[in-house]
Every structure is written in structure tokens, then in C-alpha cells.
Amino acid sequence: MILKLFELNKINLSNNKFLLFYGKNDGLINDEVSKYKSKFKIVEKYDEKEIVENVEKFFQNILTGSLFEKDKCVIINNGSDKLIKIIDELIEKQVEDILFIVLSDNLDKKSKLRKKFEVEKNLVIVPFYPDTNETLFKLAQTFFRKEKIPISSENISFIVNKCSGNRGYLKNELKKIELFAKNKKNITTENLFKLINLTENYNIFELVDNCLAKNYKKTVNILNENNFGSEDCIIITRTFLNKLKKIRELSYDLEKNKNINLTISKAKPPIFWKDKEITTQQLLKWKPREIEELIYDVNNIELQIKKSSSNHINIISNFLLEKSAQ
């Protein structure tokens, strides 16, 4: 059953135990998943690869929980057609008191998993489309109105444009502005320029780009020249994932048309002219399957960073150097 995001509130979770969220809007998907996580005392997270490699262990964890583990939410990342048999078995076993949320980056019309969720009434699928500057502007505008922070439309546009269409970045910047704006009569463009980490964000983009282009020396130089801290590590992994998803799409197009110049010129949204050369290098270095594996690796690195109490920058630095040297 296909639903739009605003229709999700209408569903009965007692009848619809399986949700599939897919699309290229990680920020919005994360927001929606957070709402469901807050409704459950127990939340378990799995990656599809982890489940497929040990199906028996997954079912054992799901089906043999104690009485205290009822009413829980199970989140499965990186879902694909490989999950179909597992979902069928879960439905057949009539697993109760568990909500399953499957997350997937992009499922094309040929996807069997997508088709299954679209046609079966007890399954719910919701597409999450990429944010535009217009949707992010409205998000920021609503935030400032709610918090009663005086700011011009021009400065809202300034903030949105500097966040490169990334909802996560925008929300981080809005939090900083909220703290700064207390007891302020107005926020100027100069205030915003100092508040928003434009230079740091640029260096992170440059770091990720050169790593993916396998420019080892440049990657080393950027790491040495910038004092990245623990708070930057998640931003680096998020930037890496967003870039990988764009490169993955281009890589599949390149496989079809066998013409790298055509692939670059037809990219949507258009690739900025300064970025065309390094994007070409990246496409020549990575095949679609390798990109899929790298996305999985970056997700694992982010998980390591979140679990580790220290050495965050060492974890991400070693990973970047390893990948740029391959």
C-alpha cells in the first residue's frame, strides 16, 4: 500500500506491522523514524547484510525475546529484494507486538521489494523525495516563526543555500542560530557567516571528494592542514554517504550508456562546472558494486564512531586514508 508521508498518521499499527521508507532524503527519513522510535521502549537495529548472512540468528533474536521485550520496533537498514523471503516468513509466523521499519536508499520500479509493499494491503511503503531549496526554506521559515526569532527572508535563503540541500546540516545550523539569537533584536548576514561553519564544511567536502577520487596525497594534506575534531566525524560520514549515493546513481548510468561525458552532462541536478573533473575521476575509480560495498563500510564506520567513547578522528582518518590509497 503506497502512502504519502502526511498519510502515515492514519494507519493502524496493529494492522500494519511492516513499513518501508525509501528515497534520497536521509534527513526526512531520520526525522520520521525518530517519531516511531519514541513510541517504543525497545528499538533494535539491523543491517540487511547482517540479517542475510545469519537468518537463523535474526529469527532467534526476534522470536525468542522475553515477555519484557514485547512492543518493540525493529529497524532494518539498506533493505533490498534480499529481504522478501524473510518478510514473508515474518508475516507467516504472525509476529505480534513488533513494528518492522525497512529503510532503503533508492528502489527503482523494477524492485521486487518495492512492488511487494506497493500491492499488499498489510504492508506500507512511503517514498521520501529529495529536499529542494523551497522545502528547506519553508522548514527554516517555520522554525524561526515558532521560535520567534527575527530574520529576513534573504538571510533564510543564505542559510539554506549554504547547507547544500542537506536537511541534517540545516537543522544543525538552526540549533546554533537558536542559541545565538536569544535576546537578539535581529540577526545579520555577518552574524550568520560567523555562526555557520562554511570553511569547515568546504574542507569536509574537499576531503571526501579527494578520498573518493583516490588522491591519497591530497587526502593526507587536507587531514594534516585541518584540525578536525570528534564533532566533525559524523558530518564527514554523512557527507561521504550523500556523495556516494550521487556517485552510485551516475555510475549505474555510466554502465548503461558507456559514455562518461554524457553521464556527467545529463546529471540531475546538474554538476557544478568546477566539480566535473573530480566527479569524472571518482566514476573512473569506482564500479557500482564497489560503491554499494563502500556505502555499507561507511555505515559501519559511523556505527563504530557512535559506539566509541574516544579516538573518533583516528577511526575516520584511518578509513579515509585506506580508501584513498586503494
Q: What is the mean pLDDT of the chain?
A: 83
Task: Count CB-CB contacts under 10 A for residue 112.
Answer: 13
Class of domain 133-196: mainly alpha
Least reliable range by pLDDT among 118-122, 131-135, 196-200: 196-200
Give domain limits for the chain. Answer: 5-128, 133-196, 200-325
Amino acid in the structure at residue 280: T
Give me the pLDDT at residue 182, please. 67
Q: Grid coordinates representing 285?
A: 575509480
In 3D space, the residue among 227, 172, 218, 223 whose CA is nearest the CA of residue 195 turns out to be: 172
Entry pTM? 0.55
Q: In what order do the strands lie in the sheet with 42-47?
A: 42-47, 72-77, 98-104, 18-23, 123-128
* φ and ψ of 44, to 5 deg: -115, 140
Q: Does domain 200-325 have CATH number 3.40.605.10?
A: no
CATH superfamily name and code, 5-128: P-loop containing nucleotide triphosphate hydrolases (3.40.50.300)
* φ and ψ of 42, to 5 deg: -115, 125
In 3D space, the residue among 69, 36, 76 whose CA is nearest the CA of residue 55 turns out to be: 76
DSSP 8-state code for residue 258: -
Does the structure show a pLDDT above 50 at 295?
yes
Does the structure show a pLDDT above 50 at 67?
no
Give me the pLDDT at residue 19, please. 92
Residue 215, by phi and psi: left (phi above 0), alpha (psi -120 to 50) or beta?
A: beta
Give me the pLDDT at residue 201, please. 55
Q: Residues 163-189: pLDDT tens digits? A: 767 788 788 888 878 877 766 667 776
Cα angle: 87, vertex 93, 97; to 5 degrees: 85
- Tell me the mean pLDDT in the region 202-220: 88
Using DSSP, state whether 19 is helix, strand or coil.
strand
Does the structure show a pLDDT above 80 at 12?
no
- Tell me the mean pLDDT in the region 249-260: 90
Higher pLDDT pick, 131 / 316: 316
Does the structure show a pLDDT above 70 at 50?
yes
